[in-house]
Structure 1
């Protein structure tokens, strides 16, 4: 057991957030915490990490539990470079390795049998055990693996204080992965990750030794990384075994079962009461009626199960249809900040098609959308009767000083106040919300308001830039359903792979300065990408082989090539044997009987110096031969 919650209650002011929450987190578990916006997910994480204390109940943790916590925007400041900061995770190990080398020289010079000698030998043994326990000799390999997987492969020398907020959050996650706490709390870890990094993180977490407790709205991520779902709803926590897809099935079954049990009990209660009313006053049946009274009194009354909260409802309609070829792009080249994003982009979008724009962060997805919206570039041609509706991920079309009702009503004056209020209510913006100023809304509420404004446009071509940001799972699924039913044309940017798979029938990829259109679903696109990568690998291997084997070589060239290959093999074998001997010698030197024999120890330390020098020379020769 790592953590146990017992009947935990918590609230802010007079509002109860959590009510009698109880659960246990065990070693190595993979848990996903889900719930609507404002249900208390982040609050629960802060209780578990001791940033908050419960109003009632208690939280028990394993003694000296090592916790790692990634907040939603939880980066850190440092004047170190990326690689220096990650190396500091293993500072104790690197320090131990350096001290070990010094001790080897000291032991060779210290008089055998002296107290100083015995202290050095004991210290040497302890350091060796520490390095072995923490797999210290592979520390730099681990650092490079994690930094590469998280997108920092070319940023090792960048100073952290010069990075963006999203990059700092990703870097904090890198550090946590390297620290390997016993339990890792992740609050929306996928927010700042592109698709390739998401795939890498999912695979890495599958092999992670500790427990992982994740808050996420990314359904693909939950399906890949968790085996238990904790759902917060109506202030209470319910546990479901399985990933997100399994949870959806189990939740529906649970509600149906509890509803049937409640209705069955209500029927039984009605039957008992009817019998009692008819027979309680009759002498011949009074006894049996009394037994039913007792049965009714002893019955544990079931509460009618609360139906799942109704999600927001969106609906996108339009009046006039556009012509068949809605958008044509031919020869579009874009730059941003002095950097060429892509060259000669060419693609067509036809009426009713749904295009997902994908690519790594910084490839130009949002820049492409902004250029299309300008309608000024000669390479961009819009079809006749196209009416564009645009969703901006920053909600820049909202004025913070407007009220919620005003933001909609003033832009769409043809709507009656009743119509405007109905649209807002369907998006789950309540009667209380409509008089709030926009600046006081949460991220999720602002997103819903922007989607309501988009609905009111009645556009036949929707362009959406990260529309699922800030939306909870229920709102995302409702938006998906509305966009699937939309008969117009759709072009959208999203990192939500579930959302892309459920909507897109075309994928527009920006990669390596090129824009490529693919007809088919997102899964089909990924399958094709994997096949292309495999073919490219094979072609690169073949090209390398061809380059290494020229079509014409003289007899002397062939002889020299054969000599190099033979020597390269010899050097590889020598390096392997030398490293094995070094490892074995380190183990022998740490043994008490060796440490007690001054002459033997001096010989082994001298031999260790020779081997390190030999190994350095072999590596230099190896690089030359390559």
Structure 2
């Protein structure tokens, strides 16, 4: 028997094993599990993990094969903040090339050294951090708005001159005036052409608005007394809290601790431990989008079913949420996750309820829509109970936090919550610098609104110095 081919195959297998780091494979696995804070679950069955932990295991599994390019599509969706931090650690420790689609501001600000921005059917590359990319967009916006303002003034002057030349050429048949008119018209056309908005600076943002008809004075809107939740194991016991009619509250906790089930039971209001004020009307956004949207409906049919009278009324309403007229006959099942969440927001806003239950409303939304939703929440006149793992949305628009710990829920002030998160995941001065940065960005927006370009440029220098500290 000729064993040479067998020996050759054996050697090839050994070489492949070595190239994968076979001798160190268990050590490599342990390092990845440590980075993901999953070492304590090393001997568990996959079926025993939470959804967030399972997602991290999927990421680790793909990284262990050492691909030249690893592509991930929104790996952060529905991860709690601890698991999100673990994902950040895995991304930053990976030696190969990663291409990741994400709208998560925590990952965007802490993981990447190159940005590919797809907007208005164009792609723009930027070498550097996302925070630096955003700053470059602000600088470019100041520059373009100043040019546009100067162009507008010049166009006004040119229009007056064109009208005078046209009148002279028409009424006096002066050839010289006709030539001057043509020259001035060409100048005006060039000025108009320069006003074309750049796709990455002037981005159309949704105009999300959340309406409440029956606005009631500050009183208890929702009271939960001695609530318990168990499946195979006890998840929550002896839960007590109340929410006032003007409160905006975040419900947070690790994946798999019963947040969604609690919110759903509050919405259904069929539990003896859950009591609403009789004047409260509730609307619900589900992270399981099929609960509140019918995938087999078109957008048009979905809104006819909730009381809209005609297609024009629907088109006008959904246009504020980023939907163009041509998509109204599109099946909801064909929409992206972000589009479905925007459609849910459009639906619950049309209900004009004075209490909103929102389960992961920012999931799948792009950063511009997230910011638009934050503004809508701030301006909403009712009360909100929101499940979220989006630290930025919580800090920007919630009044306090209900945090699940040790199978119960306790209230935490936003100030204490911020300190807790920053102590765990950020440098000591990050919070103060981030708050100053946001304040300066607001001042720049106001300066641009007033066409005060000199002030905007001075403020951008201040902003740049703050960004260097982050």
- Same fold by TM-score, threshold 0.5 exceeded? yes
1:215-234 map, 5 Å: 215-234=101-120
Please point out which of 497, 501, 515 is paired with 2:395.
501
**Structure 1 residues 524 and 151: alpha-carbon distance in aligned structure 2, compared to 1, 3 A threshold:** closer
Q: Distance in 2 between matches of 1:519 and 1:262?
A: 45
Which range moves more in the overlay, 489-498 or 440-449? 440-449
Question: Which residue number in structure 2 is paired with residue 412 of structure 1?
Answer: 307
Please point out which of 1, 24, 27 is paired with 1:141.
27
Provide, for residues 351-380 of structure 1, a one-character-per-residue CA deviation record: whole Å limited to 9, x for no partner.
Answer: 211111111111111011122223233332
1:135-174 map, 5 Å: 139-150=25-36, 152-153=38-39, 155-157=41-43, 169-174=55-60
Question: Which residue number in structure 2 is paired with residue 176 of structure 1?
Answer: 62
Please point out which of 368, 379, 383 is paired with 1:474.
368
**Structure 1 residues 94 and 281: alpha-carbon distance in aligned structure 2, compared to 1, 3 A threshold:** closer
Question: Which residue number in structure 2 is paired with residue 185 of structure 1?
Answer: 71
Q: Distance in 1 between matches of 2:76 and 2:244?
A: 32
Provide, for residues 198-238 of structure 1, a one-character-per-residue CA deviation record: whole Å limited to 9, x for no partner.
Answer: 11232343344444432211011100112332211122222
**Structure 1 residues 200 and 169: alpha-carbon distance in aligned structure 2, compared to 1, 3 A threshold:** closer
Q: Does 1:312 align with 2:198?
A: no
Provide, for residues 509-560 of structure 1, a one-character-per-residue CA deviation record: whole Å limited to 9, x for no partner.
Answer: 1133222211225423425779xxxxxxxxxxxxxxxxxxxxxxxxxxxxxx
Q: Does 1:333 align with 2:228?
A: yes
SS in 1 for 2:76: coil
Question: Which residue number in structure 2 is paired with residue 250 of structure 1?
Answer: 136
Whether the aligned pair in 2 keeps the contact of 1:518 and 1:525 (CA below 8 Å) is no
Q: Distance in 2 between matches of 1:268 and 1:389?
A: 49
Please point out which of 341, 365, 384 is paired with 1:447.
341
CA drift of 1:243 comes to 3.3
1:2-13 map, 5 Å: none
Whether the aligned pair in 2 keeps the contact of 1:340 and 1:513 (CA below 8 Å) is yes
CA drift of 1:451 comes to 1.1
Provide, for residues 163-206 of structure 1, a one-character-per-residue CA deviation record: whole Å limited to 9, x for no partner.
Answer: 89876653231023334555543321212532112112323433
**Structure 1 residues 335 and 164: alpha-carbon distance in aligned structure 2, compared to 1, 3 A threshold:** closer
Q: Does 1:198 align with 2:92?
A: no
Which range moves more in the overlay, 514-523 or 343-352? 514-523
SS in 1 for 2:224: strand
Provide, for residues 412-437 of structure 1, a one-character-per-residue CA deviation record: whole Å limited to 9, x for no partner.
Answer: 25x66543332112112222222233
Question: Which residue number in structure 1 is paired with residue 265 of structure 2?
Answer: 371
SS in 2 for 1:362: coil
TM-score, length-normalised on structure 2?
A: 0.71
1:531-570 map, 5 Å: none
Q: Does 1:237 align with 2:132?
A: no
1:11-50 map, 5 Å: none
Q: Distance in 1 between matches of 2:102 and 2:358?
A: 21
Q: Distance in 1 between matches of 2:359 and 2:365?
A: 13
Question: Which residue number in structure 2 is paired with residue 594 of structure 1?
Answer: none
CA drift of 1:154 comes to 5.1
**Structure 1 residues 481 and 255: alpha-carbon distance in aligned structure 2, compared to 1, 3 A threshold:** same
Whether the aligned pair in 2 keeps the contact of 1:412 and 1:456 (CA below 8 Å) is no
Which residues of structure 1 form unaligned runs of 5+?
Answer: 1-90, 97-129, 287-291, 531-626
Q: Does 1:383 align with 2:277?
A: yes
Please point out which of 99, 102, 114 is paired with 1:213.
99
Which residues of structure 2 form unaligned runs of 5+?
Answer: 1-12, 169-173, 426-470
SS in 1 for 2:328: helix
Provide, for residues 477-497 of structure 1, a one-character-per-residue CA deviation record: whole Å limited to 9, x for no partner.
Answer: 211110111121111112222
Whether the aligned pair in 1 keeps the contact of 2:109 and 2:130 (CA below 8 Å) is yes
**Structure 1 residues 520 and 168: alpha-carbon distance in aligned structure 2, compared to 1, 3 A threshold:** closer
Q: Does 1:430 align with 2:324?
A: yes
State the Cα RMSD in Å. Answer: 4.2
Whether the aligned pair in 2 keeps the contact of 1:327 and 1:380 (CA below 8 Å) is yes
Q: Distance in 2 between matches of 1:93 and 1:140?
A: 18
1:464-613 map, 5 Å: 464-521=358-415, 522-527=417-422
Question: Which residue number in structure 1 is paired with residue 296 of structure 2?
Answer: 401
Provide, for residues 385-424 of structure 1, a one-character-per-residue CA deviation record: whole Å limited to 9, x for no partner.
Answer: 11111111122122233331231232125x6654333211
**Structure 1 residues 529 and 243: alpha-carbon distance in aligned structure 2, compared to 1, 3 A threshold:** closer
Please point out which of 459, 463, 472 is paired with 2:357.
463
**Structure 1 residues 234 and 209: alpha-carbon distance in aligned structure 2, compared to 1, 3 A threshold:** same
Please point out which of 362, 374, 377 is paired with 2:256.
362
Q: Distance in 2 between matches of 1:163 and 1:514?
A: 20
Q: Distance in 2 between matches of 1:240 and 1:261?
A: 23
SS in 2 for 1:345: strand
SS in 2 for 1:435: coil
Provide, for residues 558-594 of structure 1, a one-character-per-residue CA deviation record: whole Å limited to 9, x for no partner.
Answer: xxxxxxxxxxxxxxxxxxxxxxxxxxxxxxxxxxxxx
**Structure 1 residues 476 and 443: alpha-carbon distance in aligned structure 2, compared to 1, 3 A threshold:** same
Which range moves more in the overlay, 171-180 or 488-497? 171-180
**Structure 1 residues 524 and 350: alpha-carbon distance in aligned structure 2, compared to 1, 3 A threshold:** farther
Q: Distance in 2 between matches of 1:189 and 1:148?
A: 19
Whether the aligned pair in 2 keeps the contact of 1:255 and 1:305 (CA below 8 Å) is no
Provide, for residues 134-157 of structure 1, a one-character-per-residue CA deviation record: whole Å limited to 9, x for no partner.
Answer: 5x7754333123224436445545
Provide, for residues 53-89 of structure 1, a one-character-per-residue CA deviation record: whole Å limited to 9, x for no partner.
Answer: xxxxxxxxxxxxxxxxxxxxxxxxxxxxxxxxxxxxx
